[in-house]
Structure 1
Amino acid sequence: MSTLTIQDVARRSGLSEPTLRYYEEVGLIGPIERDPSSRHRRYREEDLDTLQALACLRAMGVGIEDMRTYQANRKRGQAAAGEQRDLLQRHAERIEAEIATLQVHLEYLRRKAMLWDARERGDATAEATAFQLVQDVLPQLEGVLR
C-alpha cells in the first residue's frame, strides 16, 4: 500500500504541516499511521480525500466543531444525511449574508469613486448626482455595520 509523507499531503491538500498535525491532535483525522522505523506520519489516499474536504470547509470559514460534526456525519452516511444537509445549508446561508454585506460595501465604494471622479473633472452636476447616490446607499451601509 502506497503512503504519503506529511509534505506530500500538505502540498496536495493545501493545508500546512502544523495544521495537519493539529487536525490529528483534535481528532478531525486519524490517528495517522507512523512509519515503524522513523515514526514519521504516513498518510493514505483516504486520509488525503478527507483532508481535501476539510481544507474546502476551512476555506469557507467552517469552524473546528462543525468540521467534527461534518466528519461524524460522513461516517454515519445516509443516516446523517439530513443533519449534513442542515449543517452545510447553515453555512451557505452565512456566506449569502456575507456576500450581501460585501455587495453593499462594493456599491458604496463605487458611488464614492463616482463622486470623486466628478469632483476631479469639475462636473458639479455629476458630483451632485453621485452625492445623492452615496446618500441613497448609506441606510444599507449603516445596516451592515451594526
Structure 2
Amino acid sequence: MTSLSIAEAAERTGLTAHTLRYYERDGLLLHSVDRAPSGHRRYTDDDLRWIEMVTRLRSTGMPIRDVRRYTALVRDGDGNESERLDLLLAHREVVERQLAEVTSHLRAIDYKIALYEGKVERSA
C-alpha cells in the first residue's frame, strides 16, 4: 500500500499541500488521513483516489456544500445510494448545461477563425 507524504501527495494530485489540508479540515475526505509516528500525514492509494474524485467534482463546479454532503453519504456507507445518485445526477445536469454553453461559444470562435483565415489566405 502506498504511503505518501503531503508533499508527495500534492505532487501526485496536482494540488497544493494547503489544499490537501483544507480538504481534510473541511470534511471533504472520507476519513482523517493516517499519521506517521512523527505526526506527519501519510496518504494512501484510497486517499488519492478519493481526492481525485473530490477534485473532479470541484473542477466541474460542484459547490463545497454538495461535495461535503456527497462525502458524508459515502462515509455513512450502504443504504443511501439513492441520495448519492440524486446528488450526482443533479450535478451532471449542471455540467451538461455548462458544456453545451462552452460548445456554443467554441462554435462562434471557430466561425470567426474561419472568416479570418479566409481573409488572410485571399490577401497572401
TM-score (norm 2): 0.78
Q: Specify the alignment match of 2:26 in structure 1.
A: 26
Matched, 1:35 2:40: no
Say if 1:14 and 1:55, in contact at 8 Å, map to a contact too: no
* 1:50 partner amino acid: W
Q: CA deviation at 1:69?
A: 1.1
Kindly tell me: are residues 49 and 116 of structure 1, through their superposed partners in 2, closer, same or farther at Cα, counting changes over 3 Å?
closer
TM-score with structure 1 setting the length? 0.68
Give the 3-state SS of the residue equivalent to 1:79 in structure 2. Answer: coil
Aligned length: 121
Question: Which structure 1 segments of 5+ residues have no match?
Answer: 123-146
Greater helix fraction, Structure 1 or Structure 2: 1
> Higher relative contact order by CA 8 Å / sep ≥ 6: 1 or 2?
2
Per the TM alignment, residue 45 of structure 1 is displaced from its structure 2 partner at its CA by 3.4
Q: Match of 2:44?
A: 44
Give the RMSD, CA atoms, in angstroms: 2.4
2:34 partner amino acid: E
The question of 1:80 aligning with 2:80 is answered yes
Partner of 1:58: 58
Preserved CA contact (<8 Å) 1:5 1:42? yes
Letter of the 1:91 partner, please give it. H
SS in 2 for 1:15: coil
Residue 61 of structure 1: SS of its match in structure 2? coil
Instruction: Compute the displacement of 1:17 (Å).
Output: 1.0
Which residue type is aligned with residue 51 of structure 1?
I
C-alpha contact (below 8 Å) 1:28/1:71 kept by paired residues: yes
Paired position in structure 2 for 1:134:
none
Q: Which range is displaced more, 49-58 or 109-118?
A: 109-118
Specify the code of the residue in structure 2 equivalent to 1:87.
L
Q: 1:44 to 1:109 in 2, by over 3 A?
A: closer
Residue identity (%)? 38
